[in-house]
Amino acid sequence: MKHLSDIGEDELIRRLVALVPTGKSAEGPGDDCAVMDKGGERLELLKTDALVEGVHFLKDAEARAVGWKAVARVISDFAAMGGVAEHFLVTVALPGSMEVCWIENFYRGMGDCMKAHGGVLAGGETCRVPEGSAAVISVAATGSVERGKAVLRSGGKVGDEIWVTGKLGGSLAGKHLSFTPRVEEAKWLVEHFKPTAMMDLSDGLAKDLGRMALASGCGFKLETELLPLTDGCSVAAALGDGEDFELLLAAPVGMDVAGWLERFPHLELTRIGVLVEQGEGDDLAGGWDHFA
């Protein structure tokens, strides 16, 4: 009898998707979000994301920060496609002993992030879990991206250079609860850098870069000495900590960062490697797996 902890998250998703109708979307499950073509000027983006007490946040975490994170994670996924958030649906499953002020502050934090980075609440559900069970928060949202401007994980080409925004590693020290989703940065990159593939770094560079390369039918060669490390962090931390929520992208050779430095003087944009033929290049261990 196999248990969830015996198979990886990616393998589980592949098995499950085969069991339900998935219809004709521009892109199916597997990218940062699903892309739906409903015939309008903009494509619709769909995403759901969950936070579990004891896994994604601790019981004594500040509720307002957890609310920020719950919304910022989803906005980060939309940004990674070049899009913006529109309507949020929020489910909070909590024990009845939870204090009302906790959930109120959680909602305040979600509101802070929507006001700062886009989107509004369209609906929500509150339900009870048995006492002693972990609280589970699920945030689903619709978003949109201009037709022709959606950047998938799968468009990378052999020879494309690999870039990353910001610094990597050390998220658990606090950044994982207070990060800024890179909405404006992604929009600028789509306009000026013409990325062939893009995603946000949620499970650590080691795992996520492998995913982007695989989706693009490529391998990758990483120049670890170029990695932009958070102060005090090792290369291993930059590869494996996860929850950086920076943008990872592939772009044609020779892009110039001068325009970026002018527009975003306080945020690094660093070339860290190159896409190579599949089966060649590096094979990184590490990163976050939800059931490992």
Q: Which of residues 94-113 bind a second copy (CB under 8 A)?
A: 94-101, 103-104, 107-108, 110-111
Using rule CB under 8 A, residue 178 touches a second copy: no
Q: Which is nearer to a second copy, 140 or 276 (CB)?
A: 140
Q: Which amino acid is at 61?
A: A
Using rule CB under 8 A, residue 59 touches a second copy: no
Q: How far is the CB of 5 from a second copy (least distance, A)?
A: 4
Question: What is the distance between the alpha carbons of residues 50 and 73, in angstroms, rounded to a whole number?
Answer: 9
Using rule CB under 8 A, residue 183 touches a second copy: no
CA end-to-end distance (rounded Å), the chain: 17
Q: How far is the CB of 79 from a second copy (least distance, A)?
A: 16
Site string for a second copy, 17-56 (x = CB under 8 A): x-xxxxx-x--xx---xx-x-xxx---x-xxxxx-x-xxx
Total residues interacting with a second copy, rule: CB under 8 A: 78
Q: Which is nearer to a second copy, 9 or 282 (CB)?
A: 9
Stretch that binds a second copy, among 86-94, 162-170, 226-234, 248-256 (CB under 8 A): 86-94
Using rule CB under 8 A, residue 223 touches a second copy: no
- Count of residues making up the chain: 292
Question: What angle do helix axes 63-80 and 100-117 make, rounded to 10 degrees?
Answer: 30
Cβ burial 46-71 (10 Å sphere, 16+ → b, else e):
bbebbbebeebbeeebebbbbbbbbb
Residue 177 host element (H or E): helix 175-178
Asked whether the CA dihedral 153, 155, 159, 161 is positive or negative, the reply is negative
State the number of CA atoms in the 13 A half-sphere of 1 facing the CB.
1
Residue 36: phi and psi, rounded to 5, are -115, 130
Q: How far is the CB of 72 from a second copy (least distance, A)?
A: 14
Under DSSP, the state recorded for 1 is -
Q: Which of residues 134-163 bind a second copy (CB under 8 A)?
A: 134, 136, 138, 140, 142
Using rule CB under 8 A, residue 58 touches a second copy: no
Q: Which is nearer to a second copy, 38 or 266 (CB)?
A: 38
Using rule CB under 8 A, residue 14 touches a second copy: no
Using rule CB under 8 A, residue 172 touches a second copy: no
